[in-house]
Amino acid sequence: MDKIQRVGSLASVKRLPAYLRLLMQIKEVGRDIVSSNYIAEKLKLDAIQVRKDLATTGIEGKPKVGYQVSALINAIESFLGWDSNREAFLVGVGNLGSALLGYEGFEAHGMKIIAAFDTDEGKIGRQIHGKNVLPLDKLTDLARRMNIKMGIITVTADQAQHVANVMVAGGIEAIWNFAPVSLEVPEGIIAQNEDLSSGLAVLSVKTVRLLDS
Amino acid sequence: MDKIQRVGSLASVKRLPAYLRLLMQIKEVGRDIVSSNYIAEKLKLDAIQVRKDLATTGIEGKPKVGYQVSALINAIESFLGWDSNREAFLVGVGNLGSALLGYEGFEAHGMKIIAAFDTDEGKIGRQIHGKNVLPLDKLTDLARRMNIKMGIITVTADQAQHVANVMVAGGIEAIWNFAPVSLEVPEGIIAQNEDLSSGLAVLSVKTVRLLDS
């Protein structure tokens, strides 16, 4: 039971950014109240699921009325900690790293990438999307001095563990890992893998029937 | 019950690429048999969860013995359709699009991106990671002639729906969407959103307690 609960709420958490985006749009056009049915229709979800997902943030809608849009936005942002401002370092300024450096959504989500690191002499010293690219061997010291607690890894699989070690040595406590490899980190450190192959796996399973039949 | 089941198995599908990667490594060092306990330890999962996940592919391990590595690799690849070869078009050759064009993992996963499209005159005619960048207005015709069924969208949110329409007009049936917006597609067309904010939401929730306490 505990396990089912956990999976359920993790899925809810993953949907919260989509709710937040929709609510921002609704707020922009000046609407104060929104129903779970409307949200469900827009996001192609079940209305019961919507109410359950949103309840994880502590907010419940009024029956036959709906949710207060601003209150719901605040509740989601606060639940996710996106109303705070956490600074992060990114390591690996290839195509994916550059894409993340340029992604404007992160700052709205309480995460600010303040510097990038690489070992490539051709990249060090450059600016990418306004962020300086620094040598990797400066990371540990800088993270300690600037009290950085979040790190993003966008290097290749064979380099990722080394980068994680460097981050942990610098006091970084939460690692968002885009390299296709599981990281070994000390207890108390959070390492979350963002595996693009996982998305392809889901798409593949959904399409195997459609495309091969 | 149906809903819990669905979430559970979707989570299993998402973990299959990590199993596959580990099994490939095990095969490379010449091992024929692997236990669920070993897999669980390596991937930091529960052994019961591992057996449940792997059972979705139709393969069960032998008690006290384990799984045949090659048979398990074949079963996962076949379940995901990754033993086939599907061709895809990608639209939007920015940083993220370029990163995906250069990602070597996809071909091992049965998906080959064979051309990229953009509307930017500065990009059209160039080659990125060996793939030609063609004008977007050629997509519909080319997809029909080449019988392409998969499309990847890496444009900005405001362009994504237009690109999806172009893809659907070309007969594309499965769309992998990296733009942070929900797409409207006709019935029978699969549109899967790959939302980087979802991963950040999970990481944020996990770290709110750790970093803010």
Lowest mean pLDDT among A146-160, B8-22, B23-37, B78-92: B8-22
- Is the confidence metric ipTM above 0.85 for this complex? no
The answer to whether residue A29 neighbours chain B at the CB level (below 8 Å) is: no
* A210 contacts B190? CB cut-off 8 A: yes
Q: Please give the pLDDT value at position B6.
A: 37
The answer to whether residue A84 neighbours chain B at the CB level (below 8 Å) is: yes
pLDDT tens column, A101-131: 988 778 878 889 999 999 999 999 999 999 9
A36-43 and A2-28 helices cross at what angle (nearest 10)?
Answer: 90
Q: Which two tokens stand for residue A204?
A: 């593949």
Looking at the predicted structure, is the pLDDT value of residue B5 above 70? no
Looking at the predicted structure, is the pLDDT value of residue B104 above 70? yes
Site from B46, B50, B177, B207 to mutate, A interface, most A CB atoms within 10 angstroms: B207
Most confidently modeled range among A44-58, B97-111, B142-156: B142-156
Average pLDDT over residues B113-118: 96
Most confidently modeled range among A6-10, A138-142, A153-157, B74-78: A138-142
Name chain A contacts of B100, Cβ cutoff 8 Å. 196
Neighbouring residues of B86: CB distance < 8 A, sequence distance ≥ 6: A207, A211, B110, B111, B112, B149, B150
Domain boundaries B86-198, corresponding CATH code: 3.40.50.720
Q: Is B107 helix (H, G, I), strand (E, B) or coil?
A: helix
Residue listed under structure tokens 């064009």: B101
Average pLDDT over residues B49-78: 91
Q: Please give the pLDDT value at position B209.
A: 53
The C-alpha angle with vertex A177 and arms to B163 and B48, in degrees rounded to 5, equals: 100
The answer to whether residue B186 neighbours chain A at the CB level (below 8 Å) is: no
* Residue in B43, B102, B192 closest to A206 by CB: B192
Give the residue among B84, B86, B88, B81 at the shortest CA–CA distance from B167: B88
* B182 contacts A80? CB cut-off 8 A: no
Average pLDDT over residues B35-61: 91
* B84 contacts A174? CB cut-off 8 A: no
Q: Please give the pLDDT value at position A197.
A: 81
* Residue bearing the bigger pLDDT, B207 or B79: B79
- Dihedrals phi, psi of A33, to nearest 5 degrees: -125, 140
Looking at the predicted structure, is the pLDDT value of residue A199 above 70? yes
Site from B43, B202, B209, B210 to mutate, A interface, most A CB atoms within 10 angstroms: B202
Return the domain boundaries, chain B: 3-80, 86-198
Question: Which residues in chain B (126-185) have CB-CB distances under 8 A to chain A?
Answer: 149-150, 173-174, 176, 180-182
Neighbouring residues of B65: CB distance < 8 A, sequence distance ≥ 6: B33, B35
Name chain B contacts of A15, Cβ cutoff 8 Å. 198
The answer to whether residue B44 neighbours chain A at the CB level (below 8 Å) is: yes
Q: Please give the pLDDT value at position A210.
A: 55
Quote the CA–CA distance of A105 and A109 in Å, as a whole number. 6
CATH 2.60.40.420 applies to domain B3-80: no
Radius of gyration of chain B (CA): 20
Nearest CA in chain A to B87: A211
Looking at the predicted structure, is the pLDDT value of residue A205 above 90? no
pLDDT over 70 percentage in chain A: 93
